[in-house]
């Protein structure tokens, strides 16, 4: 649990840094805004599944124009994930969760694997966002775990 909690703290930190970088870049690149919104919504989708709720109401790939709305989504995700993680016992990591994906296909996945998906998915897309910022001649932001660990 200690490792997952630490990695989740990194996720919260990295999400905030990537939003800060996007705001600082003043980018108008709709694909970038759509991608960062996708990260926030995907985190919310997985949390809903972990909480035993459906996720059909969430659209993973909508356009986004307002980083303030996305920042709010990230803040809400942080609050809800912290509550969820704090109440989670080590043994609960092996509990299997039944859920349907956004296309309605049913799956069964362990809590551990869902949390790892959340952690790795965001890191993947933050890398894509940083690359796009660099291409636009904007400053990418350091979001590597080791940078977080050194704080």
pLDDT in tens, the chain (151 residues): 999 999 999 999 999 999 999 999 988 889 999 999 999 999 999 999 999 998 989 999 988 878 999 999 999 999 999 999 999 999 999 999 999 999 999 999 999 999 999 999 999 999 999 999 999 989 999 999 999 999 9
Question: Number of structural domains, the chain?
Answer: 1
| CATH number of residue 109's parent domain | 1.20.120.450
38 is in an annotated binding site: yes
Query: pTM value?
Result: 0.94
10 is in an annotated binding site: no
Distance CA 76, CA 74 (A): 5
Domain that holds residue 30: 2-149
42-70 burial code (b ≥16 CB/10 A, e <16): bbbbbbbbbeeeebeeeeeeeebeebeeb
């Amino acid at each position: 649990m200690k490792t997952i909690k630490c990695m989740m703290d990194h996720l919260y930190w990295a999400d905030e840094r990537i939003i800060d970088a996007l705001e600082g870049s003043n980018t108008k690149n709709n694909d970038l805004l759509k991608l960062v919104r996708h990260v926030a919504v995907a985190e919310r989708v997985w949390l809903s599944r972990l909480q035993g709720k459906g996720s059909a109401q969430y659209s993973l790939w909508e356009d986004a124009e307002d980083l303030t709305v996305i920042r709010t989504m990230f803040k809400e995700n942080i609050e809800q994930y912290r509550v969820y993680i704090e109440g989670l016992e080590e043994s609960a990591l092996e509990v299997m969760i039944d859920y349907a994906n956004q296309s309605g296909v049913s799956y069964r996945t362990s809590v551990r694997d869902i949390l790892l998906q959340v952690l790795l998915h965001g890191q993947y897309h933050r890398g894509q966002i940083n690359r796009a910022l660099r291409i636009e001649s904007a400053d990418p932001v350091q979001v590597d775990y080791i940078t977080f660990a050194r704080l």
